[in-house]
């Protein structure tokens, strides 16, 4: 993320997203009611003698501003953040103020965001995103004889880029066939790392049951392209799947390498919530309505909330007010991606958890 201009007097910030994570962060910064200005293309229909048919349409590039009514982050499709709303600014030769338009916010594109109020939390989120571009990413690999799961960890989230079965025959198959299948499996992993991992990071951590992780390590280190790559074999995990990757994230070696990554901090905070809950502690609460009750009291030390909660139209005003009140009392706000393993643990509790400064309870 690059912050190009900050004019808080007029409540606007101009920035340029440079990675898919930056677009994800913007999806948490932009709210319904905000104004967004960006370059876009719009099909303009013209009529007159210039067209043989009497009518033609032409796609024209222009800068348009919309007042946000809906938005969606489409990482799995095309690393694109779609923002829809009524046009409040643009070339009136081609557009009508008050009509609807969807901005497709993409990488390396200058974007202006205008908020009624830039709270400390949103400013900090953008600043962290800008600083995060300087931190090295880490490739995590969980592998066993049956499958492999590979993810890229950055400051804010873990992206799963591969989860494949090995298709290696059982032990009773001929050794020659099994060896060839294993070679194909390792080649497949190596090819993906060369294409998608090495352009982003030279740090790789491998975990898995048995000796498979050591076999993959040796296979990679024998390749010329991995000569300058830092590959570490971690301890055992249960399997080469998402669960194994989650177990790898909890190992001490990850904390040592990425100790200041926000993503890891999020996991530790959720662990703390469940630890207190299992101990029967009264210094936690959960659910949007319960958190709202405590938001003005100063009791909330840390609010942990799923990003999807921020995007629900019916509760958007309520959520934004809660965030403002918690910020006033110097509480910490942490937004969790709905796509990760952390989110699964939170959904049972409505996607909203809170760690309190002191025990408290409310009459029902």
Q: Which CATH number is 297's domain given?
A: 3.30.1330.30
Given 132, 147, 172, the domain boundary residue is 132
Residue 341, pLDDT score: 74
CA–CA dist 242, 210 (Å, integer): 17
**271 and 342 together in one domain:** yes
Confirm whether 363 is domain-assigned: no
Confidence of residue 47 (pLDDT cuts 50, 70, 90): low
Q: 238-290 pLDDT, tens per residue?
A: 999 999 998 998 888 887 777 778 888 888 899 999 999 999 999 999 999 99
Tokens encoding 4? 């190009």
Q: Which CATH number is 245's domain given?
A: 3.30.420.60
Confirm whether 56 is domain-assigned: yes
Residue 179, pLDDT score: 83
Question: How many angstroms from the chain centroid is the CA of residue 141?
Answer: 19
For the segment 139-154, the average pLDDT, to the nearest whole number, is 93
Domain extent for 40: 2-132
Q: Which CATH number is 45's domain given?
A: 2.30.30.870
Confirm whether 124 is domain-assigned: yes
Residue 55, pLDDT score: 54
Which of 273, 294, 268 shows the shortest CA–CA distance to 355?
A: 273
**221 and 301 together in one domain:** no
Given 80, 103, 132, the domain boundary residue is 132
**20 and 128 together in one domain:** yes
List phi, psi (to 5°) of 146. -100, -25
Q: 154-188 pLDDT, tens per residue?
A: 888 888 999 999 877 766 667 778 788 888 999 99
For the segment 145-149, the average pLDDT, to the nearest whole number, is 93
The DSSP 8-state label assigned to residue 9 in this structure reads G
Looking at every residue in the chain, the average pLDDT score rounds to 88
pLDDT surpasses 90 at 58: no
Confirm whether 76 is domain-assigned: yes
Confirm whether 299 is domain-assigned: yes
To the nearest 10 degrees (0 to 180), the angle between helices 212-221 and 175-192 is: 60
Give the chain's domain count: 3
């Amino acid at each position: 993320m690059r912050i190009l201009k900050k004019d808080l007097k007029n409540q606007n910030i101009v920035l340029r997203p440079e990675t898919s994570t930056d677009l994800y962060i913007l999806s948490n910064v932009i709210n319904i009611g905000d104004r967004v200005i960006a370059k876009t293309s719009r099909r303009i229909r013209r009529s007159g003698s210039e067209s043989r048919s009497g009518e033609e349409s032409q796609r024209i590039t222009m800068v348009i501003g919309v007042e946000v009514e809906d938005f969606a982050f489409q990482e799995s499709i095309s690393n694109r953040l779609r923002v829809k709303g009524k046009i409040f600014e643009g070339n009136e030769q081609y557009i009508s103020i008050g009509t609807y338009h969807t901005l497709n916010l993409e990488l390396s594109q200058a974007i202006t965001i205008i908020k009624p109020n830039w709270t400390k939390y949103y400013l900090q989120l953008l600043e962290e995103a800008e600083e995060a571009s300087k931190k090295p990413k880490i490739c995590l690999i969980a592998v066993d004889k049956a499958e492999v799961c590979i993810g890229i960890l950055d400051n804010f989230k873990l992206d799963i880029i591969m989860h494949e079965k090995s298709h290696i025959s059982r032990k009773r198959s001929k050794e020659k066939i099994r060896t060839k299948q294993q070679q194909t499996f390792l080649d497949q992993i190596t090819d993906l790392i060369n294409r998608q991992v090495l352009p982003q990071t030279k740090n790789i951590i491998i975990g898995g049951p048995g000796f498979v992780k050591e076999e993959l390590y040796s296979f990679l280190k024998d390749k010329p392209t991995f000569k300058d790559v830092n590959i570490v074999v971690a301890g055992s995990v249960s399997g080469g799947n998402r669960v194994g990757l989650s177990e790898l994230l909890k190992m001490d070696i990850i904390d040592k390498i990425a100790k200041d990554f926000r993503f890891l901090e999020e996991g530790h905070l959720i662990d703390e919530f469940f630890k207190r809950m299992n101990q029967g502690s009264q210094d936690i609460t959960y659910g949007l309505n319960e958190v709202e009750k405590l938001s003005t009291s100063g009791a909330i030390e840390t609010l942990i909330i799923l990003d999807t909660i921020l995007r629900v139209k019916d509760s958007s005003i309520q959520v934004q007010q809660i965030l403002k009140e918690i910020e006033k009392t110097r509480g910490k706000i942490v937004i969790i991606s709905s796509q990760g393993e952390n989110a699964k643990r939170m959904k049972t509790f409505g996607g909203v958890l809170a760690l309190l400064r002191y025990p408290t309870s409310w009459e029902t």
